[in-house]
Chain A
Amino acid sequence: MTDTDATEKVQQEHTAADDPSLSPVVDHTEAHLHSPVPTVLHHEHHEPAPAPTPARPAERAPRGVKLAKISRTGDRVFRSLATTSGLAIVLLVLFVGFFLLALALPSLRADQDNFLTSRTWTVAGNELRFGIAGLFWTTVLSSILAMAMAVPVALGVALCLTQYLHKRVSGPVSFVVDLLAAVPSIIFGLWGLTVLGPFLAPAAAWLISTIGWIPLFSKSVDPKGSVFVASVVLAIMILPIVIAISRDVFTQTPRDHIEAALALGATRWEVIRTAVLPHGRSGVVSASMLGLGRALGETIAVMIILTTPPQGAPFTPSIFAGGETFASKIANNAAEFDSPSKTGAYIAAGLVLFVVTFAVNAIARIVAERGAKS
């Protein structure tokens, strides 16, 4: 009787406590509490303690157990803190997006050229003519070239670290490779301009002389400031990201698959080809996409290396031409943001870059999730 009363009270209290977000685990745990001793616990908590009569305490609590008061305020406060942080993050991102859009719109409306297809960029003075076609081309070209160069190499290194090297060696080598991620981009820019550029000049000249008839490889400016050199530097910069993620993915290849392949007499390469790579395919794709995202947003290294073509120069698809990416254009002209319309034009360019980067990251995430499910 007491028990049923107590049980009902507990059930009421339970619904009153109302924690739908408590994970099933916790609920599960709390269900355990529906046994005599713990119900007394709840019972004791929610009702004013009656004056203890000599017989009562012995019935309510087992001897020797001190029942602590459970306060809900701590939980409430903490939970609201967490929710506030989450909301703050959401609001922050939304704010960034809308704010930038609001600043860019007046300039976009005042733009006399088509924003998406024009290659001119005149924002000084009262007449605005700007378009991002040239920027888009250079950004995409340099990033994709960087990815094309970096992904095979990164794959090779990740395979080496996971499949070929002994564990004790693989640790330090991993560390050294991760160190590449720690080098600031400005160092890469300066190194690329002064050291790598002249070094690659003969290779570039050779490429031009042999396959220069393909427009992509046609001769253009002095190769030191070309998209080619910038792409090589970008490739070096995104290597650590792709390697790190691929390495993680390859280590998670199911041991059984590998052993099964080995048992069937596969050589190491065949093991990789049949067990490791298919399993890690989506992870590698997502890693490349993340690397691509990084290459798209890289500012300083590109700004230092790339040669800017003069206004009104004809379009050339060559990788040996100069150019400007979104990021380098904004950084180059940051000192002269002296009017709202000018700033708005650059913000519009920044927004396009943001959208492109976000799309790339989203694709990476989708591919990764799809891979994880299968």
Chain B
Amino acid sequence: MTATTTDTPLALSRPSGVRTLKNALATVFVALATVLTIIPLAWVLATVIIKGYRLLLTPTWWLQSQRGITPRREGGGAYHAIVGTVEMALICAAIAVPLGVMGAILLIEYGRGTKIARGVSFMVDILSGIPSIVAALFIYALFITIFGLGRSAIAVSCALVLLMLPVVLRSTEEMLKLVPDSLREASYSLGVPKWKTIVKVVIPTAFGGIVTGVMLGVARVMGETAPLLILVS
């Protein structure tokens, strides 16, 4: 209201020294943390790349297996490993993706809030907590001890299904939740049956996210070693 008589310029007050110091410390800590995180990654990548890049550039690495190559001979490549990884991942995805996507559809489209949805959700929580070695043990006990089947790639794929399923289901669930209800309502109001709505409207909308979820699951499963240790070698 009344201007002050003193002509103090509008000095923008700075925060006190202590506060500035704390702020600076926080910045330093945060920067340090980021650097600390990137260091091991860079280190691991550097070690692996420096030691291995030469082989990656040869076609033999990609196109030949290790058949006939013993630890004392040079030669051969990783073809068998590439084929094996791809095979197991594909078989696992073929089982886990339909199960996961349909399960998520059950949770979101058909059963929001119902008991069965809560039960399934709880079970998926349990499943997501299975350590990979326990999943492998289960398949070992089932396939090899009880059924007497031999060690095989399909046993590994089944163990990997247990590991991939929760990832696919949860991410599909998140994505389906994000699809706005107005889209569904619009579809229903046009007389489209529910299943067609899901297949033609909801899933295409969420498709990108579902693919991401599937890829995350496949990435997780491709790197699993423990089931292979127990079920193949």
A interface residues, Cβ below 8 angstroms from B: 21-23, 25-26, 28-30, 32, 41, 68, 70-72, 74-75, 77-79, 81-86, 88-90, 92-94, 96-97, 99-100, 103, 152-157, 159-161, 164, 173, 176-177, 179-180, 182-188, 191, 195, 236, 239, 243, 265, 267-270, 272, 293, 296-300, 326-327, 330-331, 334-335, 337, 340, 343, 346-347, 350-351, 353-354, 357-358, 360-362, 365
Name the residue of chain B whose CB is nearest to the CB of A21.
Answer: B110
Q: Are A82 and B223 in contact (CB under 8 A)?
A: no
- Secondary structure call for the A interface: helix
**Which residues of B in the span 168-187 have a Cβ within 8 Å of any Cβ on A?**
169, 181, 184-185
Given known A26-B188, A74-B196, A300-B226, contact A267–B22 (CB-CB < 8 A): yes
Given known A21-B111, A26-B188, contact A354–B98 (CB-CB < 8 A): no
How distant is A168 from chain B, measured CB to nearest CB, in Å? 16
Q: A362 CA to B122 CA in the complex, in Å? A: 9
Q: Are A362 and B125 in contact (CB under 8 A)?
A: yes
Q: A180 CA to B188 CA in the complex, in Å? A: 44
Q: A100 CA to B25 CA in the complex, in Å? A: 51
Given known A21-B114, A340-B145, A351-B134, contact A72–B193 (CB-CB < 8 A): yes
Q: Are A184 and B103 in contact (CB under 8 A)?
A: no
Given known A68-B191, A93-B126, contact A265–B36 (CB-CB < 8 A): no
**Which residues of B in the span 123-151 have a Cβ within 8 Å of any Cβ on A?**
123-135, 137-138, 140-142, 145
Q: List 7 A-B contacts (CB under 8 A).
A: A21-B114, A28-B185, A29-B189, A74-B196, A86-B103, A177-B37, A297-B132
Q: A180 CA to B41 CA in the complex, in Å? A: 6
Q: Are A334 and B229 in contact (CB under 8 A)?
A: yes
- Option from B15, B34, B194 in Cβ contact (under 8 Å) with A267: B15
Q: Which residues of B contact A74 (CB under 8 A)?
A: 193, 195-196
Q: Are A343 and B23 in contact (CB under 8 A)?
A: no
How distant is A67 from chain B, measured CB to nearest CB, in Å? 8
Q: Which residues of A contact B23 (CB under 8 A)?
A: 267-270
Q: Are A347 and B137 in contact (CB under 8 A)?
A: yes
Name the residue of chain B whose CB is nearest to the CB of A97.
Answer: B126
Of B43-51, B53-61, B67-75, which stretch is located at the interface?
A: B43-51
Q: Are B181 and A350 in contact (CB under 8 A)?
A: no
Q: Are B219 and A100 in contact (CB under 8 A)?
A: no
How distant is A336 from chain B, measured CB to nearest CB, in Å? 11
Name the residue of chain B whose CB is nearest to the CB of A150.
Answer: B37
Q: Which residues of B contact A28 (CB under 8 A)?
A: 185
Q: Which residues of B contact A351 (CB under 8 A)?
A: 134
Q: Are A82 and B29 in contact (CB under 8 A)?
A: no
Q: Are B129 and A82 in contact (CB under 8 A)?
A: no
Given known A184-B225, A186-B225, A331-B226, contact A93–B134 (CB-CB < 8 A): no
Q: Which residues of A contact B160 (CB under 8 A)?
A: none
Q: Are A82 and B41 in contact (CB under 8 A)?
A: no
Given known A21-B114, A100-B137, A195-B43, contact A75–B191 (CB-CB < 8 A): no
Most chain A beta-carbon neighbours within 10 Å: one of B30, B130, B165: B30
Name the residue of chain B whose CB is nearest to the CB of A78.
Answer: B195
How distant is A266 from chain B, measured CB to nearest CB, in Å? 8
**Which residues of B in the span 80-137 have a Cβ within 8 Å of any Cβ on A?**
98-99, 102-103, 105-107, 109-112, 114, 116-117, 119-120, 123-135, 137
Given contacts A86-B120, A183-B45, could you give 14 more A-B pairs where the C-beta distance is less than 8 Å? A21-B111, A26-B188, A29-B188, A75-B193, A83-B116, A85-B103, A97-B126, A155-B33, A157-B34, A157-B37, A183-B223, A187-B44, A330-B133, A340-B145
- Option from A86, A191, A272, A350 in Cβ contact (under 8 Å) with B106: A86
- Option from B29, B98, B133 in Cβ contact (under 8 Å) with A85: B98
Q: Which residues of A contact B196 (CB under 8 A)?
A: 74
Q: Are B141 and A99 in contact (CB under 8 A)?
A: yes
Q: Which residues of B contact A326 (CB under 8 A)?
A: 131, 133
Q: Which residues of A contact B145 (CB under 8 A)?
A: 103, 337, 340, 343
Most chain B beta-carbon neighbours within 10 Å: one of A29, A161, A326: A29
Given known A25-B185, A155-B33, A191-B47, contact A236–B40 (CB-CB < 8 A): yes
Name the residue of chain A whose CB is nearest to the CB of B130.
Answer: A354
Q: Are B110 and A327 in contact (CB under 8 A)?
A: no
Q: A26 CA to B103 CA in the complex, in Å? A: 21
Q: Are B133 and A350 in contact (CB under 8 A)?
A: yes
Does B211 sit at the interface, judged by CB under 8 A?
no
Given known A86-B107, A93-B126, contact A330–B137 (CB-CB < 8 A): yes
Q: A188 CA to B33 CA in the complex, in Å? A: 20
Q: Which residues of B contact A75 (CB under 8 A)?
A: 193-195
Q: Are A99 and B142 in contact (CB under 8 A)?
A: yes
Given known A29-B185, A85-B98, A365-B125, contact A78–B194 (CB-CB < 8 A): yes
Q: A187 CA to B41 CA in the complex, in Å? A: 11
Given known A89-B123, A297-B132, A299-B226, contact A153–B110 (CB-CB < 8 A): no
Q: Which residues of B contact A343 (CB under 8 A)?
A: 140-141, 145
Q: Are A177 and B38 in contact (CB under 8 A)?
A: yes
Name the residue of chain B whose CB is nearest to the CB of A359.
Answer: B129
- Option from A94, A96, A296 in Cβ contact (under 8 Å) with B138: A96
Does B26 sit at the interface, judged by CB under 8 A?
yes
Q: A79 CA to B116 CA in the complex, in Å? A: 13
